[in-house]
Amino acid sequence: MIWSDELLLGHPAIDAEHRELVALIGALLSCSEARLGEHLQAFTEHASAHFADEDREMAETDFPAAGCHADEHAKVVASAREVQALVAEGDVAIGRRFAEELARWFPGHVAHLDSALAHWLVKRRHGGAPLVLRRRLCATA
Ligand SMILES: [Fe+2]
Ligand SMILES: [Fe+2]
């Protein structure tokens, strides 16, 4: 998985953490089998911290519909811990399948749940919607 500016939300801290998550998912997809466990550990730690940041922001600002967003975070962390245990027992294939699932899941989570949160936080802080500048990729013949 590689970063795409389509994932930018205009909240610098959240965007920075998402870049890191994308890099960690990419590493899970491409690393050697021997290093899968260690990359899974890094993903779980980063995801837990990032989700905790978002959950705290939702709680502190009375974000509406925080429940389903926080539930999704909790499910991903719980799955990551289960998969970590299985990979530690030698089931590398489940680790790769989990990485593929994460790569499919993450853009939708960003588009549907994190975007609403980023919009809410930026609007509260600055009184307007987030400004997002995306690089445009131009194909040359
Ligand atoms: Fe989230
Ligand atoms: Fe997020």
Q: Where are the domains of the chain?
A: 5-126
Distance in angstroms (rounded) separating the CA atoms of residues 91 and 24: 19
Cα 140 to middle of ligand 2, angstroms? 34
pTM: 0.89
pLDDT at 126: 72
- Residue 141: per-residue pLDDT: 47
What whole-number distance in Å separates Cα of residue 134 and Cα of residue 139?
16
Residue type, position 92, single letter:
V
- Note the pLDDT of residue 140: 52
pLDDT at 108: 97
Report the chain (141 residues): mean pLDDT per 10 consecutive residues: 93 96 97 96 97 96 92 98 97 97 97 96 80 68 47
Q: Ligand 1: distance of its center to the CA of 117 in Å?
A: 8
Cα gap 111→95, rounded to integer Å: 25
- Options 1.10.3720.10, 3.40.190.10, 1.20.120.50, 1.10.287.3510; CATH for 5-126 is 1.20.120.50
Closest ligand to the CA of 74: 1
Torsion angle of the four alpha carbons 42, 21, 13, 106, in this order, in degrees rounded to the nearest 10: -140
